[in-house]
Structures are given as C-alpha cells and as structure tokens.
Amino acid sequence: MRSILELTPKEIEGFIAKSGYEPYRSRQVLEWIYDKAIIDFNQMSSVPRGLREELSRTFCIIPFQLIDKLEGDGAIKLLFVTPDNLSFESVIITHPERSTLCVSTQIGCPVGCRFCATGETFNRNLRSEEIVAEYIFAQNIIGRRISGIVFMGMGEPLLNEEEVYKAISKFIDDFRISPRHITISTSGIPKGIVNLAKNFPKVKLAFSLWSADPEVRKELVPTSKIYPLEEVIRSIGEYVEITHNRVSIEYTVIKGVNDSIEDAYKLIDLFKGFPVFFNIILYNPKDTKTEELVPEMKDVMRFMSVIKRFKREVHLRDSKGVKISAACGQLRGIYERTK
C-alpha cells in the first residue's frame, strides 16, 4: 500500500476534495502526522470518521513494519522490514532535553567499508518517504519531539542524493527542524559534498575518515580508489569555503590498524589549517571475529593526546548503544543471518 508521505500537501488536498471533504481537512491530517507523530489514521479524532476510513483504505503512513526494538545504554534501536522483505535500522539517541535520530538512507551500503557490518551487502536506496517515516515512527515510539537528525545510519547518503535532499527539505520545511540540527555523514563523495554545501549550506557535514593514510584508507574504504583522499579533502575545503561551517572528522580507532602515534600525526597533517574538530570513536566489533580489534583505552588516550598537543579540538564520542548492537548494521546483520 502506498504511503501518504509520498504525496505533496497539494496532492493530499486533491485526494480529500475528490473524496467529498473540505480541502482544509488535509491540513488537519498533516498536523496529526507532522506535529503529533500519529501513525494510524483512525486515531485522528478531529478528522471525520468517513475520511479516516477512506484514508486507511487507500494509504498507509509508515511504509514498513517494526520487527525488533532494543533499548538500553542511552539508545533505542529499531529494526524495520519493508514490503519487499528487506530490513534496515534507525537508532534514537535518547536524551532528557534533546534526542537525536540516526537515520538510514540505504538498505545495505555500496561503499563496503571493511570493518562495517552494513557494507557487507547492498540492496537499494531508501526513498524520501521511507527516510521521513523513520523520523515520524521514532517520535511516535518515544512520545516526544526529536529535534536532531544525523544521517549516519545504514548507507552512504551522498550516493542517494535526490531522495536524501527531498527528505532534508521536508525535515526543514514541514517538520521545522533547524538545518543546524541536521548532519550528513559521508565516507567521502567529493561531488556530493560540494552539492550539499550549495543546496543546504546550514546542514552540517561529518566525514568518516578511518585512516589519514591514503593507501591504508584504500584498504578500508573501497570507494577511496575512485575518490582519492586528496580529492575528498579538496571538496571539504570547498564545503568550508561555501558554508563557513566547521566539519566533524569521525575517526573510528581500530586496534593495530590506525591507532598509532604516527597515525595521529598523519591526521593532524591532513587537516592542517582546516576548521575541523575530531570525534574519536572506539571500534564496535561487527561480529565475534572482529572483537580483537577493539582498541586499548591507553592507546586511544595516547592518540588523543597527540591531537591535543596541536591544540586541535578532539572528543571521545560516547558510544551509546554498544550493548544493544547499535553500531551501524549490526542488529540487521543478526536478523538477516537468522531469518
């Protein structure tokens, strides 16, 4: 069944008028969805019963089903299945004052990063209404507004630009989320980075680096053979020039792969003169075979102390949800293996 989120407000108005109801009813329906995160037409008490029934017969709101929900450690992980029997995840990072949703943009990921569970397969892009539905569903689950969105879930958002941009426009225009509270995380797609700056200059950028050594990075992030690190850095420079935003450099520390002092110096060198800050993330193993790659805390501290010595801003990112398999693609991987 088609989701009503695929329709523009004008199209919804047209449908409602054709069903014999006043056009202003479309605003009521949208308020229930956008402002109250109601995901069942029958709960829209101010809408006439006949129209609710007509809408329920014709549309769904959320075009997928929840099949698992894990909660703990400051995060709620949601696993969904689509009508074409594909699964994907969203993660709500809960906070008493401001919760954030980490949305997926693809089912699987074509980038195929070596240490990422999501990158093991790629099925398809998520459509904008599916991305928006992740947000509505998450608000419905926690019963309050989520004011921050990070495109850091499954997939490479800049390889699904059209649908991602449609979703961002909806978040800003219809859900009134400040673009400053939206972040796109990329593995480094140069053209996409520049397009983002031109289309949404207030939306923030995070770059998932993995390694500052171009050769090591080619091993870890296969697309860096097509988009060399140098080219990505140039595009980040262009992004900064257009937007004047600082960029977050996401660095996942993997034991014995990118955690040495030399690696830290390479990182500093790579971003000399760039307005960036570093988010250090501890590797979250994708399965039992990769458990030995979790870095030692003393090595992480040593790595960070090099960065601090150069007076660059660095944070150790709180790995919320580690206990509930909250790293990208983990819960889905478990589901796919057992289905």
205 binds ligand SF4 (CB under 6 A): no
* Candidate ranges 73-81, 149-157, 173-181, 193-201; the one touching ligand SF4 (CB under 6 A): 149-157
Kindly state the tokens that stand for 233: 């850095």
Kindly state the tokens that stand for 113: 């990063």
111 binds ligand SF4 (CB under 6 A): yes
Position with the least CB separation from ligand SF4: 119
How many whole angstroms separate alpha carbon 101 and alpha carbon 141? 12
Kindly state the tokens that stand for 270: 């790579």
155 binds ligand SF4 (CB under 6 A): yes
Could you confirm whether 328 is annotated as catalytic? yes
How many whole angstroms separate alpha carbon 32 and alpha carbon 273? 47
Q: Are residues 185 and 206 in contact, defined by beta-carbon separation less than 8 angstroms?
A: yes
Q: Which of 13, 89, 163, 250 is catalytic?
A: 89
The rounded Cα 172 to chain-centroid distance in angstroms is 16
109 binds ligand SF4 (CB under 6 A): yes
Q: Are residues 43 and 61 in contact, defined by beta-carbon separation less than 8 angstroms?
A: no
Q: Which residue number, 61 or 209, has a Cβ lying nearer to ligand SF4?
A: 209
Residue 159: partners with Cβ closer than 8 Å, 6 or more residues away: 106, 110, 111, 125, 189, 192
How many whole angstroms separate alpha carbon 81 and alpha carbon 72? 22
Query: Cβ 130 to ligand SF4, closest distance in Å?
Result: 16
Q: Which residue number, 187 or 211, has a Cβ lying nearer to ligand SF4?
A: 187
Selected binder of ligand SF4 within 105, 118, 123, 258 (CB under 6 A): 118
* Candidate ranges 12-20, 28-36, 116-124, 290-298; the one touching ligand SF4 (CB under 6 A): 116-124
Q: Build a one-symbol-per-residue string for 174-193: x at contacts with ligand SF4 by CB under 6 A, - elsewhere.
A: -------------x------
Enumerate the β-bridge partners of residue 151: 184
Residue 215: partners with Cβ closer than 8 Å, 6 or more residues away: none
Q: What is the DSSP letter of 3?
A: B
Query: Cβ 71 to ligand SF4, closest distance in Å?
Result: 23
Query: Cβ 112 to ligand SF4, closest distance in Å?
Result: 6
250 binds ligand SF4 (CB under 6 A): no
Residue ranges that bind ligand SF4, judged by CB under 6 A: 109, 111-113, 116, 118-119, 154-156, 187, 208, 328
Query: Which residues are part of the catalytic machinery?
Result: 89, 328
